[in-house]
Amino acid sequence: MQSPLNDYLIKTEPFYQPSGLEIECYERAYRHRMPLMLKGPTGCGKTRFVEYMAWKLQRPLVTVACNEDMTASDLVGRYLLDAHGTAWHDGPLTLAVRYGGICYLDEVVEARQDTTVVIHPLTDARRILPLDKKGEVIHAHPDFQLVVSYNPGYQSSAKDMKASTRQRFAAIEFDYPDADTEVAIVAREAGIDVELARQLVTIAQCTRALKQRGLDEGASTRVLIYAGTLVRDGLTPTQSCEMTLVQALTDDPDMAQTLRNFVQAQFG
């Protein structure tokens, strides 16, 4: 019988360049189906890492992009009308729990705390998911694992993770790769030469030095790949950086000019 999670299998290997022991650490955590938290700035490779590990472990990956409007029913499921009347439809979390996938809650602190409490019974020795509206308790499939990510740079009293939730997870911290590794990633993913990739990484490092000094976040590795892709497609480096590294990072005219100065120092 075909599993409902077959469509969530990653068929081809995603490119991922490790920068430490994160692969080994994840494998050890998965061996015990340990709940795992990935911490790091936006665009540093957390989601790509989870995709790579799901492919490597040959497990389906069910990804949920969390947001402040997400309800518990969006995660676990709800009754819906269909041609045969009212029927229960599993949500993404329930599908992963029931059939043994990796459920990845991306930017989990964006969800309301009264929504994320539904994961608590899955992150201790019980490994259960109560479906109160359905009157069912699901015992997690032996292959189920819960992974969450969040960006500590955006923490606030309203968007922080409760201590009672944090301590249910092991954690791996991510950051932007060292310069040589990031150059190799940008060159490969954008299809550009190493010299151009190095210039883009140099600009990004300058922007990251301005974090909390005018910028909420510096340029991410993802943004550098966008910039390189546009250059490969015919834009000049200056035009590409204006779109991806200036306008995308700030609305402040003075800060925008500072970023343009970084670009000009590399490309003239």
Residue segments in the chain with a per-residue pLDDT below the cut of 70: 1, 153-159
**Helices 46-57 and 22-31, packing angle to 10 deg:** 50
pTM: 0.90
d(CA 164, CA 141): 24
Amino acid at 258: T
Residue 158 Ramachandran class (φ > 0 left, ψ -120 to 50 alpha, else beta): alpha
Look at residue 157 in the predicted model and tell me its pLDDT.
47
Domain ranges in the chain are: 6-173, 179-267
d(CA 107, CA 16): 20
CA 217 to mean position of chain CA atoms: 16
Token pair for residue 240?
Answer: 């590409």
For the chain, the first-to-last Cα distance in angstroms comes to 61
Number of Cβ atoms within 10 Å of the Cβ of 241: 29
Look at residue 116 in the predicted model and tell me its pLDDT.
85
What CATH number does the domain located at 6-173 have?
3.40.50.300
Look at residue 159 in the predicted model and tell me its pLDDT.
64
Number of Cβ atoms within 10 Å of the Cβ of 19: 17
Look at residue 218 in the predicted model and tell me its pLDDT.
93
**Per-residue DSSP letters for the chain?**
---TTGGG---SPPP----SSHHHHHHHHHHTT--EEEE--TTSSHHHHHHHHHHHHT--EEEEE--TT--HHHHHEEEEEETTEEEEEE-HHHHHHHHT-EEEEETGGGS-HHHHGGGGGGSSTT-EEEETTTTEEEEPPTT-EEEEEE-GGG--SSSPPPHHHHTTSEEEE--PPPHHHHHHHHHHHHT--HHHHHHHHHHHHHHHTTBTTTBSS---HHHHHHHHHHHHTT--HHHHHIIIIITTT---HHHHHHHHHHHHHHH-
Look at residue 261 in the predicted model and tell me its pLDDT.
98
Which of 120, 55, 131 minimizes the C-alpha distance to 95? 131
Number of Cβ atoms within 10 Å of the Cβ of 194: 13
Q: Which helix (H) or strand (E) holds 231?
A: helix 221-232
